[in-house]
Amino acid sequence: MSVDSYAAPREAEAASYTSPFAGLSQLSEGEPGEAPQVEERPDAPFEALYASQSPFGTESDSEADPDRETTAARDFLEALHDEDFEDALEQLLNEGAARVLADAQEWQLGAGDPGTREALEEWIAPLMTEWEHSVDGIAAGLENIDLAPLGEQELDELLDSLEPAPSLGTEVFDNFLGKLIRKAKSFIKEKIRQVGSFVKNPVKGIIDVAKSGLQTLKSGFQTIGKHLIGPILNKLKGVGLALLKGVVSKLAGPLTRLLPASVRPAVGILMSKLGLEAGESDEAQADESTASALAEAFDTELAALLYAPEGGEQLDEDQFSGEYDEFDEAAGHESELDVAESLDDARARLSTALTEHSRPEPPTAEIEQFIPVVLAIRPLLKLGLKLTGARGKLINLIATPLANLIKGMVGPDAARLIARAGVDVGFTALGLEATPDDRTVPGEALASAVESTVMEVLDELSDEALEDPLQVSAAVQRAFARAAAAYLPDTVLREDLPERESAVPGGFWILMPRRARPRYRFRKYTQVFAVPITRQQARAVRWSDGGTLETYLLDRGVQRWPVQSEIDLYEALPGTLPGHFTRDDALPAGERPVDNEFQPLTPQAAGVLLREPALGRSATALRRFPAAQRPVPGQRYFRIRVGQLPDRRSRRPRRLLVTSWDPTARRLRIGLRLSERRARALVSSMQRTAPAGQRDLPAVLTELQAIYLDRLADKVSRRLLRSSAVTDPAAARRIGAAVASATSSGISRYLIQRGASLAAAVADPAAGVTITVTFLGLTGDPTRVPPPPQVSAQPGWHHA
């Protein structure tokens, strides 16, 4: 596509439309005209470090303003928040999870096996080494440079020149390292900002520098790189290594607590300064993805390096490294790391016990032995039960009615009945090897029903209700009916059971992958749905990148509708990561899906795609959509397989809409990411060579609005509240709505006046395009209209 062939349309052309009716003539268009260019304003530079006014300010010379320090720490934490970093960390975790499960399938090793941990450490070692080399290279490049007079743009260019080129050879490693280095550059810039306060106010500056751990001050600031940046980067290197060690620990023990507070003294000091509770609860962590929690912890560690040391003696480099070695050692031996594997073993024991149960009484004892392992997954509940002494009573209240409900389906005779049904409609359909005498099939089905029942009862009932025998019995009966309908073959269920998930008999959920047993990491539905997907259906199903199934299929190469597809269904277990789904051993040989192909199966998605809404699970536990989330036990996912598409997947952004908020500069950036196909289609609509023979700017604006219009207001309001830039939720919502409206106005002006720059970005060889909308001077006053934004387009996918 030639950029020279593009002529900017006049403003009146924005009113032209493409008719949705086939065969009708299009509206005529006017003659093109030239529109005035909107002048780009550069980003606000750092304030000059050498001030012309007196260096003695009006602040107290004896000590730093605590409110100012708290505000600076909050602002830095908010500016560090990076959705792309979370996505890169999610990819890293999922690749590691797939490797662990592959080892379990091949060698029958559990996650807690020493050999598995050694394999994980060997896998991540190149990334750790490259991180150390990268930080050392940046430190060496800054050591003898006079950083004081540099503005923000000059400093950005300097740091970019010191960033190493990707060299690890894997997309996941290179992508993550790039995002990690970007965090490091933000950290360095904040440190230099702190140094700037020394020049403006020497007395306060000395206090700030002393808090940063610098024991010797040299005359002049030509040496700030050597004496300030070098030591602090050594500590930054330690924080990054601790994060990567934390990734290994999470993969080796997916249900462990993320950051034991006992080895995080600096974080405790910082959180206290910010008026927050030090150390998140495990229940709170369960509401967000593992990657989000690790990323937040990493950001807090970086902020602690800059703002927390006043609460205690500053650690020197050796002590600092020792703290993180202690964390790694503690994480490697913490008893909670064995919870997932303990559940595997307990599930296998219960499976065998229920299959072999031959006594006339209900299997109460077997279930009572299993429930404590499920309770161990809920640390806070477990602790509360220990403190109140109600643990044994609760176990009995759940086990007794559950054993009576299940007693008719235990024992060898029932096992043979379940096994025959399971093999006929389950294993055979998936192409798995099993025989009617396979005793694992019935026992695992019953164990799954018991496990799901216990977890649902614990989730459903309040602490007070858990002490009421009648409420517990009623909850057990409701939960078990749903669990039996999900995990047992239809032939052993009542025909009038209202909890049946599908109107078509045959499917149920089995533990997978089979070659890894008993180290199962997910369940799969035994029926694979072969369905045609219309464009209307695809448009109604949301996708995790913020788009829809329609945009996903179009980017994959679909050109005609309906699309013939096969849909696989999955269910998460405790400790499941999306990367585990990629090791489905029922898939055709050689097929290796990627983690973001697995999408939440909500009742709405199940109804649209399968006409079986009961197979979906509500996403109410997922507080943010489509942000990445930690799969919660029982959450269901689907994956679409479409034949006759290009084997090579076209690259797609993991998020279509990203935002960044710098509270210090009052700068909000919004990034709209377009795949290469989508970007070229938009530019085609903006040129006279379009199929309609006219420029269809309304269609282009509508296509871009589909990316942000229904989510941007909420996204902006949450960021303003999170950073305390706004404290009133109603005011934050009004500001968010105003920003969304101003974004549409800004993009509209951009398309009319400067659309040629979008064509130039698309013509670049880089994959995809990012349209960036920047608001400067955004205030927390909901009565003030947001300033007109700057809009630009860049080749490739960039952070906001």
The predicted pLDDT at position 321 comes to 38
**CA dihedral in degrees (218, 224, 227, 230; nearest 10)?**
-170
User: For residue 271, what pLDDT band results from cuts at 50, 70 and 90?
Assistant: low
* Percent residues over pLDDT 70 in the chain: 71
What are the tens digits of pLDDT across the range 73-117? 889 999 999 999 999 999 999 999 999 898 887 765 555 566 788
pLDDT at 624: 36
Is the confidence at residue 686, as pLDDT, over 50? yes
For residues 328 and 494, the model is more confident at: 494
pLDDT band at 774 (very low <50, low <70, confident <90, very high): very high
Is 267 a residue whose pLDDT tops 60?
no
pLDDT of residue 70: 79
Q: Which tops the pLDDT comparison, 339 or 161?
A: 161
Q: What distance in Å separates the CA atoms of residue 215 and residue 213, rounded to the nearest whole number?
A: 6
Q: How far apart are CA 92 and CA 177, in angstroms?
A: 10
The SS3 of residue 769 is strand
pLDDT at residue 169, rounded to an integer: 86
Q: Comparing 400-409, 482-491, 624-633, which segment has the lowest mean pLDDT?
A: 624-633
Nearest of 495, 520, 644, 650 to residue 583 by alpha carbon: 520
The pLDDT confidence band at residue 618, using thresholds 50, 70 and 90, is: confident
Asked if 578 and 465 touch (Cβ cutoff 8 Å), the reply is: no
Highest mean pLDDT among 30-44, 260-274, 380-394: 380-394
Q: What is the pLDDT of residue 296?
A: 87
pLDDT given at position 270: 58
Q: What is the mean pLDDT of residues 676-683?
A: 94
Distance from C-alpha of 790 to C-alpha of 40, rounded to nearest angstrom: 7
Count CB atoms within 10 A of the CB of residue 740: 22
pLDDT at 227: 62
Q: Residues near 220 by Cβ (< 8 Å), separated by ≥ 6?
A: none
**pLDDT value for 345:** 92
Task: Give the tokens for residue 590.
Answer: 């050689």
Which H or E element spans position 662? strand 657-662
Would you say residue 276 has pLDDT above 90?
Answer: no
- Give one DSSP letter per residue of 319-386, joined into a string: HHHHHHHHHHHHHHH-GGGGHHHHHHHHHHHHHHHHHH--SSS--HHHHHHHHHHHHTTSHHHHHHHH
Per-residue pLDDT for 450 more than 90? yes
Single-letter residue type at 598: F
- CA dihedral (334, 335, 341, 342) in degrees, to 10, reads 180
User: Which pLDDT band, with edges at 50, 70 and 90, does 462 fall under?
Assistant: confident
- List, for residues 525-541, the tens digit of each pLDDT value: 999 999 999 999 999 99
pLDDT band, residue 464 (cuts 50/70/90): confident
Mean pLDDT of 2-30: 47
State residue 467's pLDDT score.
Answer: 86
More confident residue, 731 or 8: 731
Phi, psi values for residue 799, rounded to 5°: -75, 155
- pLDDT > 90: what percent of the chain? 47
pLDDT digits (tens, 9 = 90+) for 699-722: 999 999 999 999 999 999 999 998
Question: What integer pLDDT is reported at residue 253 of this predicted model?
Answer: 74
pLDDT band at 791 (very low <50, low <70, confident <90, very high): very high
Average pLDDT over residues 614-622: 74
Residue type, 195: V
Q: Tell me, what's the pLDDT at 114? A: 67
- Contact between residue 554 and residue 563 where contact means Cβ atoms under 8 Å apart: no
pTM, entire model: 0.83
Give the mean model confidence (pLDDT) for residues 504-509: 86
Cβ-count burial 222-235 (b if 16+ within 10 Å, e if not): ebbbebbbbbbbbb
pLDDT of residue 107: 64
Say whether pLDDT at 182 is over 60: yes
pLDDT, tens only, 308-365: 654 333 434 343 334 444 334 434 444 444 678 889 999 999 999 999 998 999 999 9
Question: What is the per-residue pLDDT for 226?
Answer: 59
| Amino acid identity, position 169 | G
Residue 206 has pLDDT above 50, yes or no: no
Contacts of 313 (CB under 8 A, 6+ apart): none
pLDDT confidence of residue 229: 75
Task: Please state, rounded to an integer, the average pLDDT across all residues of the chain.
Answer: 79
pLDDT at 44: 32
* Calpha distance 436→442 (Å, rounded): 10
Distance CA 130, CA 244 (A): 12
Lowest mean pLDDT among 195-199, 547-551, 649-653, 739-743: 195-199
Integer angstrom CA distances of residue 787 from 627, 680, 712, 726, 790: 28, 30, 17, 17, 9
Which stretch of 49-58, 290-299, 565-574 has the lowest confidence by average pLDDT? 49-58
